Structure 1
Amino acid sequence: MKKRVLLSLMLIGATISFVAANDSTIATVKKEVADPVNAGLKIPGGFSASVVADNLGRARHIVATQQGGLYVKLERLKEGKGIVYLKDADGDGKMEISKTFANYYGTGIAIKNGYLYASSDQDVYRYKLDDKGEVIDAETPQRIVKGLWDKRQHASKSIALDDAGHIYVNIGAPSNSCQEVDRTKGSKGMYPCPILDSAGGIWQFKVDQTDQGYHNGIRYATGLRNVVGLDWNQQQNKLYVTMHGRDMLYTLYPEMFDTTVSAELPSETFYAINKGDDAGWPYVYYDHFQQKKIQSPEYGGDGKKAGGEKAIDPLVAFPGHMAPNALLFYTGNQFPEKYKQGAFIAFHGSWNRSPLPQEGYYVVFVPFKDGKPNGKWEVFADGFSGTGVVKNPRDAQHRPCGLTQGPDGSLYVSDDVKGTIYKISYSSK
């Protein structure tokens, strides 16, 4: 099979070419090593970056309060606690820890209508906030959802809320491609995939009912292998998500795929979601080179055969295995006009792009208009990894994981290697 090479890297600085799903135009971005200024980040002119907190633990998703505080969800307990509350108490630009609470770890955290929502890998809780944006009773939250699948693989539960009293919860599929024996060469794909009854999709629950289980919720969308980034777009009144694509095309099917193709595919995908949508996993995956949905080899595909006629198409398809871990639509007024209503995506970084260098470890921006991408996506903030070329994820000093918008319109980015929180601001001066 002819190799299709996505990127060509040099040791310091490299030009990277990507193709969007809905645009055949090549988007070229400059890969940079860390800048000693701006907290080591490479960001556009006019922007500045600083570290406002550090060494928090494995910081996953984050959410800012309107009063200037910040809640951080931890993937592992630190000193027995899974949520950190931060605030700059003395105005020095650094956030001091003022409170830690919650005896569970997880990823999802959000604020809506005076409540803080947070998830473990099985449940979702909510806490009442006071007029300072601080939790009133940290020891006795309401458990609004319980008993969601936690089978270790893709167990984290990301969340988003709409304006109609609903919370949306990702339940990742504990599987690569729904084989009879997961990640095993020669094992067939199960049809229909039984996992989709309880995972591999987005479930909708009510925000004001306690101890809801699967029988209380609605399977809002399916065919989504694992969605770590999701956000409710207020302008469009619609859910948007970013999905982690499958792995191991070459390992499981060397007769169909070479190592380079397997490093590039399948695409990481960005969707607009309507109730009842099906994104096609595990039966198909998206190929940004061919710009179409491809039948998965577990279900009779050969790397070329199209499939998933009823499955939705992505808005944008990114290079494979980069792990889009957070999605945020920018609604502030601080950044230049081009960023208004556009989407920021935090790419956690790949682990399985060998023999090519690992890729991601940055925050990208997708311009939007009328709820759809309006132009080429671009790398907005780079340099988190601390190195120009990442050969192994362990080499990365930081990996972006969470995004939130501060009350002043600044952008906060969390890192789950060292628990660093970055603040990115813009000044027209």
Structure 2
Amino acid sequence: MKRYIFLIIQITGFIIFSSFKSDNPKSLKPNKVLPDQDNAGLVLPKGFGALVVAENLGKARHLTITPKGDIYVKLSKALNEKTIYHLKDHNGDGRVDEQIGFGDYIGTGIFLKDNYLYASSDEGVYRYKLNQNDEVIAPDKPEMLVTGLINKRQHNTKSFVLDNDNNIYVNIGSPSNSCQYQNRAKGSMGIPNCPTLDSAGGIWQFKADKLNQSYKEGVRYATGLRNVMGLDWNPENNTLFVMQHGRDNLSSIFPELYDDKANAELPAECMFMIKKGDHAGWPYSYYDPFQKKKILAPEYGGDGKKEADPSYIDPVVAFPAHLAPNALLFYTGNQFPERYKNGAFVAFHGSWNRAPLKQEGFFVAFVPFKNGKPAGEWEIFANGFAGSQEVMSTSQAKYRPCGLAQGPDGSLYVSEDKKGTIFRIVYDGK
């Protein structure tokens, strides 16, 4: 049965009606993806718009986009017994109209490279071979690349990224706040030569094509990182960059040294440029953005003023405390204005522990880069996810940004894990 599609075009005050025949309405694709009228509730710089791509995906964590514009998203809690979803847009309106679920392991990491889809559980990393349409060939038979990674329920999600030399870099978060004898207990001191760093609290490097790798086959690429949720490979200087979740509980563990205001504002959430063998200081130090110094942690004899070992690397960007940076993405597309090219986007999940002050975060930030290094002050790029200016607890936030991905057309995708919504940010210059 033939269907007729009517187009209404307004040109300088005149309305033109046109029609044509189509046997398959799904094959009709608009020339341009249009933002929602309210920009999906987001506050964006001039010239940008946003639309909701998908909703109700549950605990949607990180995501990756195929060269054809399909989405793969990883869940930290099963939805209809599946933990990875392949999302398709058949009619080209920018919104998902088919969801295909597979996988039975929870986690956060997902990445597409060289005809493989990579995904992580809380103990390891898998990969799936893709066909010419970037579809998983054997969804029930993933290959196990990395196995047996530490999982003690705290900071246990395994974010990862690949470089261009067939390596995977996996975050193995610390199973404690600050390596105390008694975790988060008032007055408990830090364990000397923190044993956690042998198997966690850093970035491990593995091969992308070798099966069943354990710690023994991997390399501890960098250490002294409490928990890294956002990491990306910077193609401009061929270097790993990471976003660390800073430590908690300064005032509750050491009330004689820190009040609640200091606890809410310390330490900085840090972006680090990582080279092999680097030590970022955890648990022995933290970065104070007001003193602009690495400070010795109180668990190891610090008093809020003593400086830490100078051999620990400095952050390249220091953000306010407890914003929870969950994703990092270097923008290489051509859709956005030139100032965004090669810069870094960071998705902040939002704080839970700034009381009695209001909670902060729940936005996407941008850091300009030049020649592979930060080249200006960071700024808020996309805001409004929280739905309110006064968020006193995370339960009040409408959305909590979690993942970032770049589409083949240069669009920026943002996932959030409270309602399972995926946003797409586009630029039209208006």
TM-score (ref. length: structure 1): 0.91
Corresponding residue for 1:105? 106
Say if 2:148 is the partner of 1:147.
yes
The code of the aligned residue for 1:277 comes to: D
- In structure 1, C-alpha distance between the alignment counterparts of 2:37 and 2:256, rounded to whole Å: 46
Which segment is superposed worse, 96-105 or 261-270?
Answer: 96-105
Report if aligned partners of 1:84, 1:97 keep a CA contact under 8 Å in 2: no
| Equivalent position amino acid for 2:408 in 1 | P
Distance across 2 between alignment mates of 1:365 and 1:190: 37
Matches within 5 A, 1:79-90: 79-90=80-91
Q: Which residue of 2 aligns with 1:422?
A: 423
Q: 1:409 maps to what in 2?
A: 410
2:347 paired with 1:346: yes
Deviation at residue 328 of structure 1 after TM alignment: 0.1
Q: What SS does the corresponding residue of 1:196 show, helix, strand or coil?
A: helix
Alignment of 1:29-108 (within 5 A): 37-108=38-109
Give the corresponding residue for 1:12: none
Question: What is the alpha-carbon root mean square deviation over aligned residues?
Answer: 1.0
1:297 partnered with 2:292: no
| Other-structure match for 1:30 | none
Distance in 2, Cα, partners of 1:185 & 1:425 = 48
Q: Distance in 2 between matches of 1:59 and 1:96?
A: 17
Q: 2: distance between equivalents of 1:96 and 1:327?
A: 27
Trace 1:169-248 onto structure 2 (pairs within 5 A). 169-248=170-249
Q: Name stretches of at least 5 consecutive residues in structure 2 with no aligned partner.
A: 1-35
Matches within 5 A, 1:388-399: 388-399=389-400
- Aligned partner of 1:158 in structure 2 is 159
* 1:167/1:204 contact within 8 Å kept: yes
CA contact (8 A) 2:46 2:429 kept: no
1:334 aligns with 2:328: no
Q: Does 1 or 2 have the higher relative contact order (CA < 8 Å, sep 6+)? A: 1
Matched length? 395
Q: Distance in 2 between matches of 1:93 and 1:206?
A: 35
Looking at structure 2, the residues matched to 413 and 329 of structure 1 have their Cα atoms a distance apart, in angstroms, of: 14
The letter for the 1-side match of 2:377 is K
CA displacement 1:13-69 (0-9 Å, x = unmatched): xxxxxxxxxxxxxxxxxxxxxx98100000001000000100001000000000110
- The yes-or-no answer on 1:358 pairing with 2:359 is yes
Partner SS state of residue 271, structure 1 = strand
- Structure 1 counterpart of 2:26: none
Query: Secondary structure, in 3 states, of the residue corresponding to 1:98?
Result: strand
Give the AA of the match of 1:417. Answer: K
The answer as to 2:308 corresponding to 1:307 is yes
Query: In 2, are the aligned partners of 1:60 and 1:107 still within 8 Å (CA)?
Result: yes
SS at match of 1:39: helix
In structure 2, the partner of 1:11 is none
Q: Deviations over 1:225-275 (max 9, x none)?
A: 000000011121110000000000000111111110110001100000000
Aligned to 1:10: none
The alignment-based identity, stated in percent, is 61
Rounded Cα–Cα distance in structure 2 between residues aligned with 1:166 and 1:226: 20
Paired residue type of 1:170: N
Structure ID, larger Rg: 2
Residues 403-422 of structure 1, C-alpha deviation per residue, up to 9 Å, x if partnerless? 00000000000010000000
In structure 1, the gaps of 5 or more residues are 1-34
Does residue 371 (structure 1) correspond to residue 366 (structure 2)? The answer is: no
Q: How many Å apart are 1:428 and its aligned residue?
A: 2.4
Aligned counterparts, 1:276-287, within 5 A: 276-287=277-288
After superposition, what is the alpha-carbon deviation per residue over 1:144-167, rounded to whole angstroms, capped at 9, x for unaligned? Answer: 000000100000000100111100
Cα distance in 1 between the residues matched to 2:148 and 2:97: 34
**Letter aligned with residue 380 of structure 1:** F
Match of 2:112, SS state, is: strand
* 2:364 alignment partner AA: V
Which stretches of structure 1, 4 residues or more, deviate above 2 A after TM superposition?
A: none
- What does residue 276 of structure 2 align with? 275
Question: How big is each residue's C-alpha offset from its partner over 1:103-161, in whole Å with a ceiling of 9 and x where there is no partner?
Answer: 10100000111100000000100001111111111010100000000100000000100
Q: Check 1:260–1:142 CA distance in 2 against 1; reply closer, same or farther (3 A cut).
A: same
Task: Give 2:119's aligned residue.
Answer: 118
**Paired residue for 2:10?**
none
Q: 1:296-330 CA distances to partner (integer Å, 9 max, x unpaired)? A: 00000000110121100000111111000000000
Question: Counterpart in 2 of 1:14?
Answer: none
* Kept in 1: contact 2:364–2:382 (CA 8 A): yes
Q: CA deviation at 1:376?
A: 0.8
CA distance, structure 2, for counterparts of residue 156 and residue 93 of structure 1:
30
What one-letter code is carried by the residue in structure 1 that aligns with 2:247? Answer: R
Distance verdict in 2 for CA 1:190–1:36, change over 3 Å: farther
Distance of 2:247 and 2:297 partners within structure 1? 10
Residues of 1 paired with 2:123 and 2:149: CA distance?
5
